[in-house]
Structure 1
Amino acid sequence: MLLRLLFVLLIALNIAVAAWLLLGDSGTHAVDPNDGGVPKLKLLAELPEPAANVSAPLPAPTASAPAATALAPLPSTSAPKPAAVAVPAAAVSTGAPAKPEVKTKAKAAGGDPLAAAASAPTSPRRSYRCLALGPFPSQVDLRAARSAIAPRTVRSRQRQEQTSESRGWRVFLPPQATRELALAQARRLEAKGVKDYFVVTAQGELQNSVALGLFHDPANARKRRDQVVAAGFPARMSERTETTPVWWLDVVVPDEAGTDIRQGIRTPGITARTTGCF
């Protein structure tokens, strides 16, 4: 029942709105285009052409003005005459035609830019050389050297290499098959009066060998080896090396820099050798 009532109300409301739109006053009034109070629109093509500019007439001469002022000539419309060109005295005396003065800078500025660039003086081409400085034992030393020579270098780079350094010379007896054989050999050394030895038990190529000493001077190592050999044992001598990292500094310097690039580097033993450019 309620839905039917709502449906009837909606229909009645639609009918009322339609009647108001058809019969009601919209509130606007049409304007008659022929009304005299409304200006008419005109196209630009319909406007009359503007009159040609007419020069204003000269004022009539007064009685008090002189005749020369009243009859002043109008400005001439003919082309102006060219100004006289000053000719050097040397050209007049010899009869040769005078050549116009040419300014190189003005011509280069207003003429062809390529011709101006070609006529401009060029600086000589600089040449460079590439050097490798090192080896540096640490990066701290390398950075200090790089800062010291920075004003004399064009560019630089650092690189790391591995090198083998000598850590002394060792004297030893060859390794035995077992630890017991190595201990027995050590007892025989002691019986012969050879002191200062020990049996190597750590794993590696010298396991179960008898170490007889480590020397920085190779002459002392040879002396120890000969002493043990004289006692009747096959002593050997070998250099002890260790692989350590080192750093190199590659630099590019101008050829005209005659001073030694190593000046200012405080790390001792630094060499400078030619290397490939980068």
Structure 2
Amino acid sequence: MFLRLLFVLLIALNIAVGAWLALGQNDTPRRAATDPGVAKLHLLSEQPVAPAAPASRAPVAVASAPAPAASTPPAAPEMRCLAIGPFDTPQDLRNARTALTGPGVRMRSRQEQTNETRGWWVYLPAPGGRVQALALARRLEAAHVGDYFVMSSGDQPNAISLGLFKDPANARKRRDEVAAAGFAAQIQERTEQVPEYWLDLVVADGARFDWRSRIGTRVGSHSTLCF
């Protein structure tokens, strides 16, 4: 009987302790996890996730590479263009060309026709036909004017030739002598076409190209168009 009563008391005691543990813990004040004045720590996983702000598409400045500086080509040397001549013969021209050949020298040969004075002709113009020309010749003989010739051809047939002179002073003297005898003598310069041979050069202006020291000074020079 006593054991049964003790058993019931133990069961009642267990029920009372269980009820106290289940109901009495909510009223017990909980101890703070941190000291006063210290911010409470939160795990990273407990932090609220804020929505990501849309990325702003700000213009990105792209630095452009500096343009390579344009290289300035060296200034071309100024060219000097000369015409050297005239040479008397084609062989003289070839010799000069050989003597002047060298680096930086451009050359060309050319031939031109020119009128060259062959002398000064003293004459009496044709008085008419052949008969009049012969009569004038007899008058010259009577006036002791010698050294004459009646032209039978050429550009002035039947004219009376009184001489061809290389020196114009001698031609004027002859004219004056015939004029003193009473005849109207005249002087005409006689020319003929002859070939001239030239050598054109193109050289750098600052090259101090001395062509005279190579071929001599028997020919001249003048500026000409470059080629």
Distance 1:165 1:115, change over 3 A: same
Tell me the residue number matched to 1:146. 97
Tell me the matched-pair count.
161
1:15-68 deviation digits (Å, cap 9, x = unpaired): xxxxxxxxxxxxxxxxxxxxxxxxxxxxxxxxxxxxxxxxxxxxxxxxxxxxxx
Distance 1:152 1:233, change over 3 A: farther
**Partner-residue secondary structure (3-state), 1:260:** coil
Matches of 2:104 and 2:117, distance apart in 1: 34
Matches of 1:116 and 1:153, distance apart in 2: 31
Check the 8 A contact 2:203/2:209 in 1, yes or no: no
1:85-122 deviation digits (Å, cap 9, x = unpaired): xxxxxxxxxxxxxxxxxxxxxxxxxxxxx96995xx97
Tell me the residue number matched to 2:23. none
Which one has a bigger Cα radius of gyration? 2
Bigger relative contact order, structure 1 or 2, given CA contacts below 8 A and separation 6+? Answer: 2
Q: Can you give the 5+ residue segments of structure 2 that lack an aligned partner in the other structure?
A: 1-66
Matches of 2:157 and 2:75, distance apart in 1: 68
**Partner-residue secondary structure (3-state), 1:212:** strand
1:236-262 deviation digits (Å, cap 9, x = unpaired): 111111111101111111112224223
1:185 equivalent to 2:120? Answer: no
Matches of 1:240 and 1:183, distance apart in 2: 24
Tell me the residue number matched to 2:41. none
TM-score, normalised on structure 2? 0.65
Check the 8 A contact 2:82/2:223 in 1, yes or no: yes
Percent identity over the alignment is 53
Tell me the residue number matched to 2:148. 197
Tell me the residue number matched to 1:246. 196
| AA of the residue aligned to 1:245 | P
1:190-215 deviation digits (Å, cap 9, x = unpaired): 1001011111111x322001101111
1:174 corresponds, among 104, 110, 125, to 125
**Partner-residue secondary structure (3-state), 1:242:** strand
Matches of 2:212 and 2:191, distance apart in 1: 29
1:125 equivalent to 2:63? Answer: no
Tell me the residue number matched to 1:157. 108
1:271 corresponds, among 203, 220, 223, to 220
TM-score, normalised on structure 1? 0.54
Quote the offset at 1:143 in angstroms.
Answer: 0.7
Tell me the residue number matched to 1:226. 176
Higher share of residues assigned strand: 2
**Partner-residue secondary structure (3-state), 1:263:** helix
Tell me the residue number matched to 1:207. 157
1:135 equivalent to 2:81? Answer: no
Matches of 2:223 and 2:79, distance apart in 1: 12
Q: Can you give the 5+ residue segments of structure 1 that lack an aligned partner in the other structure?
A: 1-113
Quote the offset at 1:142 in angstroms.
Answer: 0.7
Check the 8 A contact 1:152/1:253 in 2, yes or no: no
Q: Provide runs of 4+ in structure 1 moved above 4 Å.
A: 114-118, 121-124
**Partner-residue secondary structure (3-state), 1:228:** helix
